[in-house]
Amino acid sequence: MREFRKPETIIAVLICLALPAAAFALYFFLGNPQGFKTQPDSRNDNLAQIGVSPQIADMVSRLEQRLKLNPNDAGGWAMLARSYHTLGRYKDAADAYARLVQLVPDDAELLADYADALAMAQNKSLLGEPEKIVARALEVDPGNIKALTLSGSAAFDQQDYQTAVSQWKKILPLVDQDSEIARFTINNIDEAEAMSGQSNLSGTSATK
């Protein structure tokens, strides 16, 4: 088995690249977090156990309160959805993205993020609504890297290896060929092609 069998690793790389910017964005979006304090609670204790600063949890709480007062703040919903995803609160992230795409309906990246969060919330499965949202993202932007990654993953999960390869190959012209994303994508393509070959061989044997 190859090192990176499926594209979750690519998505993880994309998320890791975005996390530092997201953390700074929370500070700038909300202002000085020292001006907002909450009483310690079990949620903050749990977050601390997994390496999440209570200060970040406080900022997320502040953002939640802000959106109650201004529910049409698309930038706030985007920040909240990404923060929930970072904290592993995938159902909350999906709900926040659902609200966000109502406000900003034709953004392929937001749709891909929404599909990702919804898939995580339903036990890492892209089947059903997440797959439909991915298709919608690709209608808006056929070259969206995350949507192509998720589309290939959905096909792979359904053992449609040819479609998975086709979708992942579309990523390669869009990224630096020396990048980690390119390397992971090539590994995924190789794995899908190998699985496709095994399926074809098995089908041939069965007809003999």
Location of structure tokens 């339903």 = 122
Which DSSP letter does residue 198 get? H
Q: Out of 14-18, 89-93, 191-195, pick the least confident.
A: 14-18
> Which helix (H) or strand (E) element contains residue 195?
helix 180-207
Query: pTM to 2 decimals?
Result: 0.75
pLDDT tops 90 at residue 186: yes
Cβ neighbours of 124 (radius 10 Å)? 13
Q: What is the pLDDT of residue 199?
A: 61
**pLDDT tens-digit series, residues 157-178:** 999 999 999 999 999 999 999 9
Question: 207: alpha, beta or left, given left = phi > 0 and alpha = psi -120 to 50?
Answer: alpha
Residue 206 pLDDT exceeds 70: no
The amino acid present at 128, given as its one-letter code, is G
pLDDT for the residue numbered 85: 86
CATH architecture of 8-207: Alpha Horseshoe (1.25)
- Characterize 34-68 residue by residue with b for buried, 16 or more Cβ atoms within 10 angstroms of its Cβ, and e for exposed: eeeeeeeeebbeebeeeebebebbbbbebbeebbe
- Select the more confidently predicted residue: 41 or 104: 104
CA distance readout (Å), 21 to 18, 24, 101, 191? 6, 5, 21, 32
33, 201 Cβ separation under 8 angstroms: no
User: 9-33 burial string, b = 16+ CB within 10 Å, else e?
Assistant: bbbebbbeeeeeebeebbeebbeee
Confidence (pLDDT) at 82: 87
Q: What is the pLDDT of residues 16-63, one digit of tens each?
A: 444 444 444 544 455 443 433 333 344 444 444 334 567 777 888 888
User: pLDDT (tens digit, 9 = 90+) per residue, 107-153?
Assistant: 999 999 999 999 999 998 999 999 999 999 999 999 999 999 999 99
Question: Is residue 88's pLDDT more than 70?
Answer: yes
pLDDT, position 58: 80
Look-up: residue for tokens 């959106």?
67
